[in-house]
Amino acid sequence: MRKLAAGNWKMNGTAADLVQVQALITAHPAPGCDVLLCPPVSLLSRMADLAAGSAVQVGGQDCHPQGSGAHTGDISAQMLLDAGAHHVILGHSERRADHGETDALVRAKAQAALAAGLCAIVCVGELESQRDAGQTLAVIGAQLAASLPDAVPDAANLVIAYEPVWAIGTGRTPTLTEVGEVHAFIRAAIIARYGEAAQAMRLLYGGSVKPSNAAEIFAVPHVDGALVGGASLTAADFGAIVAALAKA
């Protein structure tokens, strides 16, 4: 399968930061893996225009389960597609925490994204207290069971990101053994759910991925790429992660 380096800019970036995207495109014209940047929606169509014809794809960070209507401040999957997106991140722990998103809502959004023709990147991950209590796999299993879409006609359109909440923006990461344990668990869960086609679904690790630790994380079985926050904001750091993934 083709691996995926995905950058989540979160609530960061203005037009001036598009120079980073141009620098990334220039430095990695044929990266050897899929490359995705998910900027704030204010930059989406400008970034899509800039990246047109390059290896960089763009995506959203959320969508509403409905296609249109009276939902002030929201954006639909169709609108993301219209703005040039190919992907959308759903159920990020920051949205679960900041906006009270439930697994059921995340599933509805994922189903809307697939129906609109977007690739859905569904995020799961345990709190530090849950890991300390030995509940990691139970938590991940429950999130997968309730957040993933019912039907996935094309395995390439569902990506699952494992992001331990305590590893996001902290500089801390699970051990490679712990990453491998969770990724193998997710692979088994999605094969049980969707059948052998789920071998082709990409599983990303996210949480303090940096140029310095990317290669060792990418060597873990069932790690098919990364969802990168802070280190995706500069072409130098994200480009180094892209290069590490292409070599893995």
Q: Which residues bind ligand 13P (CB under 6 A)?
A: 8, 92, 163, 168-169, 206-209, 227-231
Is 208 annotated as ligand-binding?
A: yes
CA distance 25 to 12: 19
User: Is 92 among the residues known to form the active site?
Assistant: yes
**Burial class of 150 by CB neighbour count within 10 A (0 to 12, 13 to 18, 19+):** exposed
CA distance 10 to 7: 9
In terms of residues, how long is the chain? 248
Is 230 annotated as ligand-binding?
A: yes
Is 169 annotated as ligand-binding?
A: yes
Tell me how far, at minimum, the Cβ of 160 lies from ligand 13P, in Å.
13
Residue among 21 and 194 whose Cβ is closer to ligand 13P: 21
Question: What residue is closest to ligand 13P based on CB?
Answer: 229
Tell me how far, at minimum, the Cβ of 213 lies from ligand 13P, in Å.
11
Helix (H, G, I), strand (E, B) or coil at 162: strand
The encoded tokens of residue 204 equal 């990303």
Cβ(202)–Cβ(157) below 8 Å: no
Residue among 207 and 239 whose Cβ is closer to ligand 13P: 207
Tell me how far, at minimum, the Cβ of 194 lies from ligand 13P, in Å.
23
Q: Name the residue with tokens 């072409």.
A: 235
* Torsion angle in degrees (nearest 10) through CA of 95, 99, 102, 108: -80
Residue among 78 and 224 whose Cβ is closer to ligand 13P: 224
Out of 87, 92, 183, 222, the active site residue is 92
Q: Mind telling me the catalytic residues? A: 92, 163
Known binding positions for substrate: 8-10, 169, 208, 229-230
